[in-house]
Structure 1
Amino acid sequence: MTPSEAEPLIDLSEVGRTYDDGPAALAGLNLRVARGEALAVLGPSGSGKSTLLNLLAGLDRPSTGRVTVDGLRVDALSEAASARYRRGRVGMVFQFFNLLDDLTVLDNVLLPAQLAGTARGRAAARAAELLERLGVARHARVRPGRLSGGERQRVAVARALMNRPPLLLADEPTGALDSASGADVRDLLRDLNAEGQTIVLVTHDLALAEACATRTIELVDGRVTRDVRAVAR
């Protein structure tokens, strides 16, 4: 194992985040996530879950402390560098998919590669590979509004993986799905993690956490109150 492989993919040190004069959204958080882990973040509304995801994505900055992802000090990046970081090192999956309905499924998946300046032929081959692997290749020329919720979430995952990011962030990825589609997405995330993808997912879905996560933490008032590793699957 090389030194870089031994280092955690995510390293948060004494991270605090406050907004105006309100209570701390995160309070002195220390968290290390190894490469290849699937971390589920649980907790009540207002516990700091969304703040944690935003900090990892470089969409927000801590009031105190350091946020390091893949060896990069995310909290110290400029706005332009943060955008490059999100394009190259982070894939994001949202509860309501955030697909562009005026683009086809294929063009939605291609978008991150286009923003990163990837050659069209190379990007098209990667998109075709992902759509086939995730079972939605037959919908490549269709607009997302014609797909089921589960299919749209599969397209969103394909888009998130387009630039081969070391970190996949998922915010309530089954929250807008029926039970059958939710189970489908749970299987997908579990399979991705089994292939080595590092995942951090925020969820209220205990079944999702139990099915997908190799480790679960619970946040309450911006602090980790529970940190449990799953029995090896």
Structure 2
Amino acid sequence: MTAPVIEISDASKTYDAGLPALDRVSLTVQAGEALAVLGPSGSGKSTLLNMITGLDKPTSGQVTVNGIRVDRLSEAGSAKYRRERIGMVFQFFNLLDDLTVIDNVLLPAQLAGMPTARARARAAELLSYLRIDRHSRAYPGRLSGGERQRVAVARALMNRPPLLLADEPTGALDTASGEEVRRLLAELNQDGQTIVLVTHDITLAEACATRTIELTDGRIVRDTAAVAG
């Protein structure tokens, strides 16, 4: 059996000697899974996500992603790891409004030093795959919320990351755009992309997650596989 994409072992995080934001969490995510992380505000969802991205380190325990001990990385090592191994999709898109769609998508490749011709070919492939190629020369402000989130997904997938993280990806969208993004994430997972999404949107979890965990007070209180069919 291949190694898991994410392996978190007995990880805790405490800030300023208060109650733990995460309390001895152990979690394994296999390649091809789509994991939804649910829980109320303050349950530890953001802390878990930040530990997976290397933005935060556990007070104790281990975090391994794609064979890399993320909890041991230096600041520079963490930045390189995020560029090469993680794709991030955010609630408010985080697109640069003064760049065109294709230039937004190209940014991760430029930061990673990908040759220009290969980067442009990859960007064109993604824009076509995500059905937004007709908007390649448009600016984000001219697009709908759903279209902007597709651009954000294309940018996140630019460097072929083993793991796509989505933080409340439907939180800023209207109903129709939210449904569009739910379908998109489900399609990406069906095509083999490993996804971890943090959300309050139960409909999103039901639509595209193969597995759901629920956090309460920094602990996993429920871990449920989706029912096939």
What TM-score does the superposition give when structure 1 sets the normalisation length? 0.97
Correspondence 1:109-120 to 2 at 5 A: 109-120=105-116
Residue correspondence of structure 1 range 176-187 to structure 2 within 5 A: 176-187=172-183
Q: Which of 135, 140, 153 in structure 2 is aligned with 1:139? A: 135
The residue identity in structure 1 corresponding to 2:151 is V
Match of 2:36 among 36, 40, 47: 40
How far does the alpha carbon of each residue in 1:164-186 deviate from its partner, in whole angstroms, 9 at most, with x for none? 00000000000000011000000
The amino acid across from 1:203 in the alignment is T
| Cα offset, 1:22, TM superposition | 2.2
1:29 aligns with 2:29: no
**Matched residue, 2:6:** 10
Task: State how far apart, in whole Å, the 1-side matches of 2:136 and 2:190 are.
Answer: 26
Is 2:205 aligned against 1:209? yes
State the Cα distance separating 1:21 from its structure 2 match. Answer: 2.6
SS of the aligned residue for 2:176 comes to helix
Structure 1 match to 2:90: 94
Provide the C-alpha distance between the structure 1 equivalents of 2:138 and 2:18, rounded to a whole number of angstroms. 45
* Counterpart position of 1:124: 120
- CA deviations on 1:28-82 (whole Å, 9 max, x unpaired) are 0000011100000000000000111111111111111000000100010111111
- Are residue 105 (structure 1) and residue 101 (structure 2) matched? yes
Whole-Å separation in 1 of the counterparts to 2:72 and 2:152? 28
Deviations 1:169-223 (A, max 9, x none): 0000000000110000000000000011000000000000000000000000010
User: Partner of 1:150 in structure 2?
Assistant: 146
Shift of 1:145: 1.0
Matched, 1:194 2:155: no
Letter in 2 for 1:99: L
1:59 is aligned to 2:64: no
Give every structure 1 segment of 4 or more consecutive aligned residues whose post-TM-superposition deviation is greater than 3 Å. none
CA deviations on 1:125-170 (whole Å, 9 max, x unpaired) are: 0000101111111111111111110000000000000000000000
Matched letter for residue 54 of structure 2: G
Please state how far the C-alpha of 1:7 moved relative to its aligned partner.
Answer: 1.4
Structure 2: tracts of 5 or more residues without a match = none
Identity over aligned pairs, percent: 72
Query: TM-score, structure 2 length as denominator?
Result: 0.99
Distance 1:21 1:63 in 2: 11
Q: Distance in 1 between matches of 2:17 and 2:5?
A: 32
Separation in 1, partners of 2:141, 2:57: 34
Aligned positions, number: 229
Unpaired runs of 5+ residues, structure 1, are: none
| Letter aligned with residue 135 of structure 2 | H
Secondary structure in structure 2 of the residue aligned to 1:25: strand
